[in-house]
Structure 1
Amino acid sequence: MYGSQVAFGIVMSTDPTKIVMGRSIGQDFCEVAVLLVNKPDSPLFIKDHNRKIMKDAIGSHILWFLKYVQLDFKSQVGDHD
């Protein structure tokens, strides 16, 4: 599972002081809105009482390690290649 894409989402914030899932984002995480999952049974890095695996996080905002986020700049609004 290492190195494979587990979900598609939108990075909502990297503000280290913002609280997501009851914790501050800090320097190593970002806030991600999970839209679609490829591997529904993959564990979340940060779990809470309602979300333990990827399929639990669909439609919600979660903490995710920045180093595991791959940005797709071609999908940005206004990009007309």
Structure 2
Amino acid sequence: MGTEHDLQLPLPQTSLHPGLWVADINYHPLWTPLLHAAHAMGCSVFHGGNMLVHQAADAFRLFTGRKPSTSHMLADFAEITADMQAHT
């Protein structure tokens, strides 16, 4: 797990190996040191962007009574975060 203020790996890097799924559901930063290390070791990784989008979709549905398009929201999120990564 990582946050903007705690960027340490929560486990020894030697614990990571291909075949593992590693999730870090933070979304700021989106790519934490854990996810970078896991990806470098060949793990499948999952960041907090999907959780953030699905929480927003649920809130939208609760507030408006309308079902949002999570596929469009996920695509928009990916585009926005790609632009943000390009400018850092």
**Fold match (TM-score > 0.5):** no
* TM-score (structure 2 length as normaliser): 0.23
* TM-score (structure 1 length as normaliser): 0.24
Q: Which has the larger radius of gyration?
A: 2
More helix by percentage:
2
Which structure is higher in RCO with an 8 Å CA cutoff and minimum separation 6? 1
More strand by percentage:
1
